[in-house]
Structure 1
């Protein structure tokens, strides 16, 4: 058995090593840590089968292909097809990566969502006439907030018309996500994640009422059923409006980012990267422990500039909920502008059996950590 890991996520690599599964990494980016992979390929993902054979002369050596990143989903599906391995249908992969095709298809299945329009099929005046201003412009093949533009004038809308994107009417409310494992078309596990601060702080599981939880789970079930996803891990983002209505945002067929996998481990008492690998390789149900705690991930990005001081770390480590803090910056380091939630300069993990105490410590974290630029 050899797994071809499309896109590098350290959690997936560590899980493969712990499970003693030989694996090959294919990444478009240089790796800071190569782990113990049999082979490491640093190049653009293959477009044709010949591109694959350049690096893998013996294709029969690959028994499983696992896509752990958004960019690896489509090429990973292509490779499964070339090697005649178990896979979801091409239409499923397209609808879980191309946001416009996703919304077109699911809107026909009566999935509730905000109104949207393609960027190239209409004039800017017509888009503003239907959606109003301000309006949101999103790239079709992207994730983590990359390429999102908030436009407030007709001129700004016109300048975005050439992008391979779509426009949406902005919403008043909050965002969140629901993670699922699907095996043989059946949802065998779900977790609702609350975005306490969008793009910065997540709470696992979300602190919602039972009624709200049921609405989110119903939306998730309807979306995954409509898409006919047969197996894998899904990450669906939703909008919770001020009136309690739940709207669909987008769905991905891969593990979540934002260190949510770490928070899942803390809350449920099981390594979710290992669970993900098990589902991908064995496609069997795995017994999950019941929720034992409430966890939070806090992503650290101080903004653009040069770091002049960092204070509050010692006090943060004394918080009741403190579990982990990893900073990747020092005084004097230059910080680049943040283009997506996948870009950070550190993160923290907080966990507590008491949800109120967790919320208290999250607020304390934000008041204690000071990174001056």
Structure 2
């Protein structure tokens, strides 16, 4: 454990992430991990400061957690996962004597409320509506396509069905036909419905202190749910100034003073930027690890600086590099999902293994031979990582992986 500075903040990490814990353990801030009871033995064996907590329990007990952390001298709570964002808001409302933080966290957790808040603030969003049953989905699909002047027999423009409070592509379905609607399980309602936006989809990772952006990364999606890389291609980075203005608008509309946000946007063919959604926690697909590979700084340590009320501007200036120009190269990853219905072993494709941009993978041999049918966007079986000098070559390489079999 690195020596800790008693003059700096004491932070609580809400959620279990070994990458986050190892990063903060190497940093100069005191910390405690708040995670489910099953992590207790591991923490004891590895001298990790630990408070057991069941995040599945009702939120009424958040005050109890806040008082426990306050008694320990904790200054701020940092959400590591989507499911702990609301808890962090409730705890920080007590620790930082700012009741508004709970309401803000609830906005970040509800995609429908989030879009309404963005719209009220003058941020451009697509058409959206809440769905409480399959009938609502059918009506929305029909209305959207009538508005687009579709004739009988024309293929429908798709709509998107998203869980209110899940992260990334979890609970995200693309709906084109009434048959697609029949496949939605009852337990996925209520949900958010959105019109489809054609365009360039990308994400942003922004570390914020005192309402100001300290570092802004643009992550370019090759295929949503499959692949992403950082920094983006020069063609997308050319829009950085406009994107930064949109993030500043988001900070103002959502009244964000500190922390980290991960919004998603569409850049349409007529050059308009549409807001998709925003999360107040680290992104999936190990984006912080990709940023570290490209830039050299640890994103979880950056999170601590952005949340800690005792962080100085001098620390921030020394910690964060200059966007794009300080990147050592482009880092990307591909989420592997078996393309065959029956598989027996892992076999990294020869052309991938021999490519100079391929670095390593986190895949293991299949536990079952039969591959479950992919529901919605499904869950990948692990990630393969790539790094290289040329953004276009990396983009094409990540796209190529979709046609290759990692499991045979």
TM-score (norm 2): 0.78
- The Cα offsets for residues 233-273 of structure 1, whole Å up to 9 and x where unpaired, read as 11010112233322110011111111111110111121112
SS class of match (2:170): coil
Q: Which residue of 1 aligns with 2:35?
A: 26
Note the 1:240-259 alignment, pairs <5 A. Answer: 240-259=267-286
- The 1:181–1:59 alpha-carbon spacing in structure 2 relative to 1, beyond 3 Å, is closer
Distance 2:211 2:191 in 1: 30
User: Does 2:102 match 1:90?
Assistant: yes
Q: As a proportion of its length, which structure holds more helix?
A: 2
Query: In 2 relative to 1, CA 313–135 (structure 1 residues): closer, same or farther, beyond 3 Å?
Result: closer
Instruction: Point out the structure with the larger strand share.
Output: 1
- Equivalent positions of 1:349-368 (< 5 A) are 349-359=385-395, 361-362=397-398, 365=401
Q: 1:145 aligns with which of 166, 169, 194?
A: 169
Q: Which stretches in structure 2 are left out of the alignment for 5+ residues? A: 1-8, 146-155
Secondary structure in structure 2 of the residue aligned to 1:243 = coil
Question: Structure 1's 22 and 326: CA in aligned 2 closer, same or farther, altered over 3 A?
Answer: same
SS at 1:311's partner residue?
Answer: coil
> What residue number does 1:61 align with?
72
Which residues of structure 1 form unaligned runs of 5+?
none
The match for 1:16 among 14, 24, 30 is 24
SS at match of 1:238: strand
Q: CA deviation at 1:180?
A: 0.4
2: CA distance, partners of 1:124 / 1:326 = 37
Matches within 5 A, 1:188-199: 188-199=214-225
In the TM superposition, residue 174 of structure 1 has moved relative to its aligned partner by 3.4
Residues 1:291 and 2:318 aligned together: no
Alignment of 1:183-222 (within 5 A): 183-209=209-235, 210-222=237-249
Question: Counterpart of 1:116?
Answer: 128
> What are the equivalent positions in structure 2 for 1:255-266 lying under 5 Å apart?
255-266=282-293
Determine if the alignment matches structure 1 residue 279 to structure 2 residue 306: yes
> What whole-Å deviation, never above 9, does each CA across 1:88-141 have from its counterpart, x for those lacking one?
623322222211111111112221111112225996675345423543222211
For normalisation by structure 1, the TM-score amounts to 0.85
Partner of 2:343: 307
Partner SS state of residue 387, structure 2: strand
SS at match of 2:196: coil
Equivalent-residue separation in structure 2 for 1:277 and 1:283 (angstroms)? 9
Q: Partners in 2 of 1:135 and 1:143 — Cα distance?
A: 18
Residue 127 (1) aligns with residue 140 (2): yes
Are the counterparts in 1 of residues 345 and 365 from structure 2 also a CA contact under 8 Å? no
**SS in structure 1 of the partner of residue 86 of structure 2:** helix
